[in-house]
Structure 1
Amino acid sequence: MSKLYNFDKIIDRSGSGDLKHGVLQERYGRGDLLPLWVADMDFETPSFITDALRRRLDHSLFGYTVVPEELWTTVIQWIVDHHQWQVERRWLTYIPGIVKGIGMAINVFVKEDEKVIIQTPVYHPFRLTPEGNGRQVVYNPLKEVDGTYEMDFEQLAEVVDDKCRLLILSNPHNPAGICWSKETLQRLAHFCYEHHIIVISDEIHSDMALFGHKHTPFASVSNEAAQISITFGAPSKTFNIAGIVSSYAIVPNDSLRRRFYTWLEANELNDPPLFAPIATIAAFQQGEQWRRQMLSYVEDNIRFVEDYCREYLPQIKPWRPQASFLVWLDCRDLELSHDALVDLFVNRAHLALNDGAMFFAPQSNRPAKGSTDAQGFMRLNVGTPRALLHRALEQLRDACTT
């Protein structure tokens, strides 16, 4: 019998130490904002996960544990069922977070005088992590085409040199929510294979394809892709368990895997904490019904934003995502400077969103050719009860009309 989950339920997150509310004053200069920024959802983590964790808590001894083999058979089955990619057990290991995994891979594969390529606009740790590790970032901006982005292979060929060692791919793309096509990924794989560039594919939103779209794992598109790829995944976005660090890596190539996993093992970074396997197994074995209902609710939230903007905020144009609960808002028709746009959202509408500039290259590093306008975008998290989303849009409407 199907169970109906309640995504309209509003959860009071006060006292839980959540990032979304806890740093508003620090990051936005005021604490009275409706937070729709950081990429976790306001939906209650499903009961089959909390029940599994609670059962383990009833055994009140939390010593050293082994990684259950059921974790890997469950992950493998989930990937083949949802993405038709047959992953081998030896390709898999735990990693303590995807951004951490990116930093680890940079330290293993990229020397201090070598470079990392990113495709802006993109999730800002793709830039901050290599920079923080003293590596140079090379920018391959995406091209804006008809309300979405495409990869610019001509510009990529121009900026790549023999110091470029690694490219970080957002697949599906964050912030624009693009499910990259098989043909695009094959072309990228061929280019990187020919230039001896490793591709890290961040596929954390892979289980959140929307509106009939489908995610394609980068490593699955060709033998060339498999030989140069490090794929990172996790149940955390889909099942709203980012606080339970449950990420994993998939590396088909023997040589890359040996170098990376040996380093992880030497530093004991491949052992999951006690609750990560429990939550992952519960999510992937029992979560399909919840996942489908959640995605349907998110799709309706996106339609709600589109309809509201069309009627009341015509100068703001939401780009419909093909995956994830993040909506890229094109606010350029407001004709505001970056600071004025942030002021509109924060100080007049009392909303906390991610401003678009953080996803682009800093102005001083932005390449002239192929550069995409960093002004005028905001990223909206619609993984929230519709009442809160409605309230947010009403606040924005009032701010724009006063």
Structure 2
Amino acid sequence: MQYNFDQLIDRRNTNSSKHDNNRVMFGREDVLELWVADMDFPAPAPVVEAIKKRAEHPIYGYTFPPASLYEAIVNRLDRLYGWKIKKEWIVFNAGVVNGLYSAVEAFTQRGDELIVQPPVYYPFYGAIKNTGRQVIHNPLREVDGRYEMDFEGLEKLFEVRTSFPVRTPRIRALILCSPHNPVGRVWTKEELERLAEICVKNNCLIFSDEIHCELLAPGAEHTVTASLSSEIEQRTITFMSASKTFNIAGLATSFVIIPNDELRQRYIAARAGHNSGNLFGFVATEAALTQCDDYLEQLRNYLHENYKFFREFINTRLPQLRVAEMEGTYLAWVDMRQLGMDPLELQDFIRNKARLALDDGYAFGPGGEGFQRFNLACPRSIVEEALLRLEKAINEL
């Protein structure tokens, strides 16, 4: 079927985190919301119909993921990425962040160190700090508006720590964002191989957040980190969900794939008592993974056109700003450092002068200062209105 992503849908008064909390989050009601990473598009029709059909049965009791859902995940990963997994490797969670917390608790001890590559998805910091672990930064390198991993810096981090006394905390894991939120990189197979080689050599686990793996620009190709080799597969914990791609985050269902039997049992033990998803989340995820390829194709095209429109507007009318190349996700990473504002001044300008609700770059860690993240998963008229507000505010400086 044909989807109309230009359609404006009023999400106010639906308890939307993105639209119903403006005064609390931004101090005013009249901001235009392009922040939280969910989409202002309806979920695919097969997902809606599957939920309606299940809702017709009047009992919504305790449940478990059906065999057909495991099969849908196994088949999709093989079809899209050539990664052949077993259904026994799959463990369900309420969300990727919940799953990440469980991984940190399962595979590290209080005081241990975990590497992140900022600027990066800020809940990674919470999963480390809130569990009593320590954050180690290996910042991305920006080269002409495109970001790269700093492999030399990563190797030095391990070298420095292996020279310390035994009592010194050790690096136990690296949290990888692939595709990378917020900078929009889709890491190449060669980049992932080099990263994995360093981690394997240093006995470091990889926690790979691949929730955006299906949201790709034309020509981009996602490589599942764990699919690189059997050795890497045994040291990688992969986090996925249909929530970003098919806009079902409120149904709180995700899954983690752990090929290593010992690690999987430790993970299951660590998350005992945690929610493993829910009835309608299972139904929606299965429908999304098995019946919605046409939706995904149209969505990708629309998101890319949104990005092209956004980039062209900024390049021609706001040359003080610079947009990172968006190979994946639907999140545009915009460099506003030429405006000459410190992070709090920029935050105030965006909220109170441009009247936009965005994600402040400094929240993503070192290297994010002076940037703003725009969520482009909305009708193009909203993208245009956001740009016009921003242009007016900048012209009044």
Q: CA deviation at 1:55?
A: 0.6
Q: 1:287 & 1:320 partners in 2: Cα distance?
A: 27
Aligned to 1:399: 393
Counterpart AA for 1:150: E
1:194 pairs, out of 195, 201, 206, with: 201
In the alignment, what sits opposite 1:216? Answer: 223
Matches of 1:238 and 1:176, distance apart in 2: 18
Structure 1: which 4+ aligned runs deviate by more than 6 Å? none
Partner of 1:349: 354
Query: CA–CA distance in 2 between the matches of 1:378 and 1:221?
Result: 33
Identical columns (%): 39
In 2, the alpha carbon distance for the partners of 1:34 and 1:340 equals 19
Mapped to 2, the partners of 1:291 and 1:168 lie a distance apart of: 27
Shift of 1:23: 2.3
Equivalent in 109, 112, 116 of residue 111 of structure 1: 109
Instruction: Quote the residue 1:369 is aligned against.
Output: none
Tell me, yes or no, if the aligned pair for 1:116 and 1:165 is still in contact at 8 Å: yes
| Counterpart among 24, 27, 32 of residue 26 in structure 1 | 24
Match of 1:387 in 2: 381
Equivalent position SS for 1:15: coil
User: Quick one: distance in 2 between partners of 1:328 and 1:274?
Assistant: 35
Q: Is the 8 A contact 1:117 1:166 kept in 2?
A: yes
Question: 1:127: which partner in 2?
Answer: 125
Q: Please, which of 335, 345, 359 is the counterpart of residue 364 of structure 2?
A: 359
Q: Secondary structure at the match of 1:208?
A: coil
Rounded to whole Å, the distance in 1 between the matches of 2:262 and 2:330 is: 36
Task: Find the counterpart in structure 1 of residue 78 from structure 2.
Answer: 80
How far 1:80 sits from its partner (Å)? 1.3
Q: 1:225 corresponds to which residue? A: 232
Deviation at 1:204, TM superposition (A): 0.2
In the other structure, the counterpart of 1:317 is 322
What whole-Å deviation, never above 9, does each CA across 1:87-132 have from its counterpart, x for those lacking one? Answer: 1111111112111111111111111121111111000011122101
For structure 2, the 5+ residue unaligned runs are: 163-169
172, 192, 204: which one pairs with 1:185?
192
CA contact (8 A) 1:189 1:224 kept: no
**8 Å CA contact 2:105, 2:270 repeated in 1:** no
Residues 1:378 and 2:372 are matched in the alignment: yes
Counterpart of 1:297 (choices 289, 297, 302) is 302
Closer, same or farther: CA 312–137 of 1 in aligned 2, 3 Å: same
Residue 244 of structure 1 pairs with residue 244 of structure 2? no
SS of residue paired to 1:21: coil
Paired residue type of 2:393: A
The 3-state SS of whatever aligns with 1:204 is coil
CA deviations on 1:292-342 (whole Å, 9 max, x unpaired) are 101100000000001111221111111121111100011122222222222
* Aligned equivalents of 2:151, 2:274: Cα separation in 1: 35
Q: Can you list the C-alpha shifts for 1:120-172, whole angstroms capped at 9, x where unaligned?
A: 10000111221011111111111111211111122112223351111100001
* Corresponding residue of 1:364: none
How many angstroms apart in 2 are the aligned matches of 1:390 and 1:218? 36
Partner SS for 2:15: coil
AA aligned to 2:251 is I
Identify the residue that residue 366 of structure 1 maps to in structure 2: none
Deviation of the 1:270 alpha carbon: 6.3
Deviation at 1:346, TM superposition (A): 0.8
C-alpha separation in 2, matches of 1:77 and 1:51? 22
Unpaired stretches in structure 1, ≥5 consecutive residues? 362-371
Post-superposition Cα deviations, 1:38-68, rounded to whole Å, max 9, x if no partner, equal: 1001011122111111111111011222321
- Secondary structure of 2:172's counterpart equals strand
On the 8 A contact 1:190/1:224 being kept in 2, the answer is no
Is 1:307 matched with 2:312? yes
3-state DSSP of counterpart to 1:138: strand
What are the residue-to-residue correspondences of 1:258-277 with 2, within 5 Å? 258-264=265-271, 267-269=272-274, 271-277=276-282
The C-alpha deviation readout for 1:7-44, integer Å capped at 9, x for no partner, is: 00111101110001222212211121001011001011
Asked if 1 retains the 8 angstrom alpha-carbon contact of 2:13 and 2:20, the reply is no
Report the counterpart of residue 327 of structure 1 in structure 2.
332
Once residues 176 and 320 of structure 2 are traced to their aligned partners in structure 1, the CA distance between those partners, rounded to angstroms, is 31
Judge conservation of contact 2:343–2:369 (CA < 8 Å) in 1.
yes
* Counterpart in the other structure of 1:368: none
Give the partner amino acid of 2:224.
P
**Alignment check: 8 A CA contact 1:186 1:222 kept:** no
Distance in structure 1 (CA, Å) of the matches to 2:348 and 2:137: 28
Compute the TM-score of the two structures, normalised by the length of structure 1. Answer: 0.94
For 2:273 and 2:85, locate their aligned partners in 1 and report how far apart those are by CA, in whole Å: 23
Q: Whole-Å Cα distance in 2 between the matches of residues 157 and 306 of structure 1?
A: 35
2: distance between equivalents of 1:14 and 1:142? Answer: 37
Letter in 1 for 2:346: L
* Count of residues in correspondence between the two structures: 387
Which residue in 1 is equivalent to 2:146?
148
What is the CA distance between 1:263 and its match in structure 2?
A: 3.3
Deviation at 1:271, TM superposition (A): 3.5
| Kept after mapping to 2: 8 A contact 1:76/1:86 | yes
Find the aligned partners of 1:258 and 1:317 in 2 and give their Cα distance: 46
SS of residue paired to 1:22: coil
Report the secondary structure of 1:259's partner residue: helix
